[in-house]
Amino acid sequence: MKQRKRHSGAVSQPSRKDKDAVRVGHPRSKNGAPSTSGAKAPVDSVGAVRGLKLPPPSESLLVDIEKPIYGGAFLAHAEGKAVFVPLTLPGEQARVRVTESKRGYATAEAEEIVNAAPDRIVAACPHFGSCGGCHYQHTNYETQLAFKQAILRETLERGGVRAPNEIAVLAGEPWRYRNRIRLAFDAAGNPGYRGRRSHAVIPISECPIAAPLLVAAAKAAADVLRQVAPTARPTEISLFCDGSETSLLASVMMAGTEKDRLDDLAKALRERIPALKGVEFATESGKDEQPVVFSQWGAACLAYRAAGFDFRVDHGAFFQVNRFLVDALVERVTTGHKATSPGTFLPALACLRAASLPALLVWLRSSPLLPPRRRSQRTSGAQQELQFDPQPSIFLAAARASAPIPLFPI
C-alpha cells in the first residue's frame, strides 16, 4: 500500500500583532458543505535556482504562496529556491518551517497564515490536516477544480504535450462519492488513514468523501475483530461497495496466517454488516508484492451497474472510484467518437484512468478492429461479460498516431 507521511510539527497560534493571521488546520464546519465560489490559480512554470541555501530544518521564514503543484502542495520561493508548502493557498503569505532542504527545492510546513486568501474556508472533515487523504478541503470546490485544471495543463506542457485552449471539467458531488477506501488499524484496533508525511495511523470518526456504508462497515469490522478475534492482528482493511451501497466486499490484511476462528469471524462480520457479500483474509508477503489470500468467505466479486451493464468487480479490482461519475464518464468519452480506429478513443481512456474499463468494453462491442473470434459475449441472467484479447501493437500504434481530443480532469 502506498503510504503517506504525516505532518510532524505542531501548528502555532496566529500572531497577536496581526489580527488577520489565521491558524493552519481547520475545525469542523457547521454545515459541512463547501462554498461554490472560487478563482483559478496562475499557471506559470516551476523554477528553482540551485546552490542557494535556505534556513536549516526547524527554522522558519516568511513566503508568498504562488500556485498549486502536483502532489497536493503549493509553490513558494525563498532565496530563489522553490519551496513546497501544503495546506496553503495561492495569494497567501505564510510563515513556514523548512522540514527538508535539497539541492533544487525544499519542503516546508506552514506554521502561520499571515494573510489568508479569500477562498480559504473551514474544512468539512475534522481530520483534515492530520489525515493524509485530502489536500484541498481548506478551499471551496470550484477552486479545487481550478487547481486540478491548472496542474493538468502544466503537467502536459512540461511533458511536451500542447494542452487544449479549454479543458472541459466533468465534476460530480464533492462528498460521499468514493466507493472504495483502505484503512489501517492502530495498536488499539481502531481503523484510520495513514497520516500526512508519516506511517502513523490517524483513527477516524468519519470520512465525508466516502460512501457512508464504507465508514460504517469499517467501524463495525473493527468492533467485530476486537470481540471475536482479539489475537488476529489485523493490519489493514479494504472496502468496496457498488454505486447504490447495497453490496460490499471486504479484504482484511493480517500480520499472520492463523486460521483459528476465521469462520466465526466471517459469520460475525456478515451479521453485523448486512450488505457484506464476501470477505477475504490475506497477508502481505513483502514490499511491492501482492497480498497472499489464505482464506475467503462468500462471494468473490459483486455486480457493479455502469453504462447499462453489470460488471463483475472482485476484491482489489481497478475500477473508477467516483461512484457518481461512472456513467457520466462513459457517456462523455463514447459520445461522438465512432469506433473506426482505436486512436480516437485511447487518449480519452488515458485521461479517464479507472473509468476506462466500462468505457472500453462499451466501445469494443461495436469495434471492427477486433476479429470476431477475439470478441465474445456471455450472458448469465442480468450479468454480461465481454472478453477480448487484442494485439497490443495495434493499440499502441494507433495511440501514437491519434488526433488530439479534449481532455478533462477528474
Which range has the worst mean pLDDT, 42-51, 116-125, 229-238, 253-262?
A: 42-51
What domains, with CATH codes, occur in the chain? 1-163 (2.40.50.140), 180-314 (2.40.50.1070)
Give me the mean pLDDT over the 298-319 stretch. 88
pLDDT of residue 113: 97
Closest CA to 139 of 181, 174, 94, 172: 174
Q: In this model, does residue 101 exceed pLDDT 70?
A: yes
pLDDT of residue 273: 98
Confidence category of residue 58, pLDDT binned at 50, 70, 90: low
Q: In this model, does residue 333 exceed pLDDT 80?
A: no
pLDDT of residue 74: 98
Give me the mean pLDDT over the 169-197 stretch. 95
Greater confidence, 189 or 8? Answer: 189
Give me the mean pLDDT over the 329-356 stretch. 54
Q: What is the dihedral of CA 270, 203, 26, 62, to 10 degrees?
A: -140
Out of 140-144, 332-336, 402-406, give the one with best mean pLDDT: 140-144
The rounded distance, in Å, linking the Cα atoms of 104 and 319 is 37
Confidence category of residue 54, pLDDT binned at 50, 70, 90: low
Question: Percent of the chain, pLDDT > 90?
Answer: 51
Confidence category of residue 120, pLDDT binned at 50, 70, 90: very high
